[in-house]
Homo-oligomer: A and B are copies of this chain.
Amino acid sequence: MATTGASTPRERYRAQVRTEITERAWEQIATAGASALSLNAIAKQMGISGPALYRYFASRDDLITELVRGAYRSLADVLGEASSTGADLAGLAHTLRGWALADPQRYFLVYGTPIPGYQAPEDTLATSSEIMTILLDACTALTPGNTVTAFGTHLEGHRDWAAGNPAPPEALHRFLTFWTRMHGVLSLELAGHFAGMDLDPVLLFAAELEDLLKPRS
């Protein structure tokens, strides 16, 4: 929760209205999906005229960009918080799951179907790295004594994305496995693909996590 420097009444008011706009925007996304986001609809819901929103966001794209930024930021914050209070990889996994379930459309805005042509703002790359770093460190804490896999060896030669993180190859491999497996279970669960199957998604999640935590051959 980064504190803004706002201090004058006007600045506080502006910040408050901006916040309300983004809240309404999230509500709308949850109801009809990100592509149905409409500035006029948000204004109507807030009881103000459409053009008034242009005092707060330069365009519709600008608002979406802000939402994307907020989603990344929120995930980085929640994982950072968990990690700094001692959570290990299993704890982070449950934090991630809680964050995803709290607002599925927020999860999908970041990790779901990309809108062809839409480019995420550059500064989300930094937040994305922040998230990876937290998870990668948790993987490093878990790997001592593991055998290096073939894929781990590949990664050792292609580790630019790890941004200087000294994680050993086993940790790099485990991080990717963690990411893709958690995403696999979560995204199918959130998309409702297990809905008619009468199975308990949390048990599947737990089983995948347990397998992930085992020492690797």
Quickly give the copy total for this chain: 2
- Bound: A115/B33 CA distance, A: 6
Contact A154 B32 (CB under 8 A): no
Contact A204 B176 (CB under 8 A): yes
Q: Interface segment, A83-91, A139-147, A184-192?
A: A184-192
Contact A151 B204 (CB under 8 A): yes
Contact A161 B197 (CB under 8 A): yes
Q: A117 to chain B: closest CB distance in Å?
A: 7
Q: Bits for A101-119, please: 1 = Cβ < 8 Å to B, else 0.
A: 0000100100111111100
Given contacts A180-B185, A188-B180, contact A108 B116 (CB under 8 A): no
Q: Does A165 belong to the interface (CB within 8 Å)?
A: no
Q: Look across to chain B and name the residue whose beta carbon is closest to the beta carbon of A173.
A: B207
Given contacts A161-B197, A180-B185, contact A30 B207 (CB under 8 A): no
Q: Bits for A195-217, please: 1 = Cβ < 8 Å to B, else 0.
A: 01111100110111000000000
Contact A208 B192 (CB under 8 A): no
Q: Does A155 belong to the interface (CB within 8 Å)?
A: yes
Q: Does A24 belong to the interface (CB within 8 Å)?
A: no
Contact A114 B192 (CB under 8 A): yes
Contact B150 A191 (CB under 8 A): no
Contact A33 B176 (CB under 8 A): no
Q: Bits for A150-190, please: 1 = Cβ < 8 Å to B, else 0.
A: 11001100101100000000000100110111111101100
Contact A179 B188 (CB under 8 A): yes
| 7 intermolecular pairs with C-beta atoms under 8 Å apart | A30-B116, A112-B113, A113-B113, A113-B191, A176-B199, A176-B204, A180-B185
Known: A113-B113, A151-B203, A161-B196. 9 other contacts (CB 8 A): A105-B116, A114-B192, A155-B199, A160-B197, A160-B198, A180-B184, A180-B188, A181-B181, A183-B184
